[in-house]
Amino acid sequence: DEMHWAYVQNHLLEVVDGDLVEIEAGVIVQSHQIPKRDGSTDKGPRTIKIESLLVSRYEVTQAVWRALIGKSPSPTEGSRLPVFGVSWQDCQLFLSLLNQAAGAKKLYRLPTEAEWEYAARGGIEGGTYPWGGPYVISDTGCFMANFKPQRGDYAADAALYTVEAKSFEPNE
């Protein structure tokens, strides 16, 4: 209805845009495999130029998802929990509605694989870990980026359940 759409256009876009950070342009070197016609593959690094872009610092919350889609697909529900259990098609619908709300002001999209990796690394080329910093454990004792050296011991980072978005610091 019109009142709901006015809320989305006036409030929700502010919430979404408030979490965006600019990632400066740069390059990333990715390893890749190129399939050849004979079935073999060429392996080697590939340098990809990344244009500057805006990326959300945090996951999309179920409250934001529900405001656009009407319901959350996540089995564990909570307004401040991240949305999970969605397909690529679900995300495209979400982005389509978000772009419709924004009008011509902005275009929201998923980052490419290279953009995502570049943003996660914080622009640090050749870093030991993909989150940009040199440490496996944060200042609060949590493992970074679901990095589990104890083979999936989620108790070690106090995340035996889905934690609220914005519970952890963003990558460096």
In this predicted model, what pLDDT tens digit does every residue of 94-131 receive, in sequence order? 999 989 888 877 789 999 988 988 887 776 666 555 55
Q: Rounded to whole angstroms, what are the CA distances from 168 to 76, 112, 137? A: 19, 23, 12
Considering Cα of 65, then 71, then 73, then 78, what sign does the dihedral take? Answer: positive
Least confident of 39-53, 64-78, 103-117: 39-53
Higher pLDDT, 22 or 105: 22
Beta-strand pair 53-56/20-23: antiparallel
**Overall pTM > 0.75:** no
Length in residues, the chain: 172
Closest CA to 146 of 110, 108, 120, 115: 120
List the Cα angle 115/153/121 in 5-degree steps: 20
The mean per-residue pLDDT over the stretch 9-19 comes to: 79
CA 43 to chain centre: 27
